[in-house]
Amino acid sequence: MHRLVSLITGSLFGTGLYLSQMTDTFKVQGWLNIFGDWDPTLTFVMGGAIIPMFFAWKVVKHQNKTVLGKNIELSSRKNIESSLIIGSILFGLGWGLAGLCPGPAIASLSFGGVNGFIFLLSMLVGIWLVSKLESHKYLEI
């Protein structure tokens, strides 16, 4: 059952990213290009995605366990760490530079050629690097 849910949610996510063309870096960079020929598509994608999620949060709010009996594990962090800010700046720079974020990077892998794989590998190296540094407490900002 869990595997089926994983497959369905992953496939839905991929279908959504493909139909909305968020797998096309020009669409993403076009949305970020507010001082030029602005492409509004991503606004509709975000807006559309937030609607079902908003209701899901309403439902989950009063629950401790899900229908599948899983504990509801959600962040209760409220404080703003410098890593949240620095990380978001770095992510935004990379996102603008290539026009890809983690979801679309995987969704576009089958037609993105070698460069798509290079992007994914670099991204995984970045994630791995931070988790190594964090676990050794080198990174305490």
Partner 1 sequence: MALEWIYGLIGGLLIGTAGALYLLLFGKVMGASGILSNFLTETGKKQFLSNTTIFLFGLFFAPLILSKVDFISTSISPQTNLTKNVLVIILAGLAVGVGTKMAGGCTSGHGVCGISRLSFRSILATIIFVLAGILTVSILKHWLEII
Near partner 1 in 9-68, by CB under 8 A: 9-26, 29, 32-36, 40-57, 59-60, 65-68
3-state secondary structure of 61: coil
| Interacting residues with partner 1 between 90 and 129 (CB under 8 A) | 90-103, 105-113, 115-116, 118-129
Mind spelling out the 3-state secondary structure of 99-140? CCCHHHHHHCCCCCHHHHHHHHHHHHHHHHHHHHHHHCCCCC
Residue 138 makes contact with partner 1 by CB under 8 A: no
Q: Does 5 bind partner 1 (CB under 8 A)?
A: yes
With a CB cutoff of 8 Å and minimum separation 6, the contacts of 26 are 39, 99
Task: Provide, rounded to whole angstroms, the least separation between the CB of residue 136 and partner 1.
Answer: 14
Count of other CB atoms within 10 angstroms of residue 125:
10
Q: Under the criterion CB under 8 A, does residue 89 sit at the interface with partner 1?
A: yes
Q: Binding residues for partner 1, how many (CB under 8 A)?
A: 110
| 137 is an interface residue for partner 1 by CB under 8 A | no
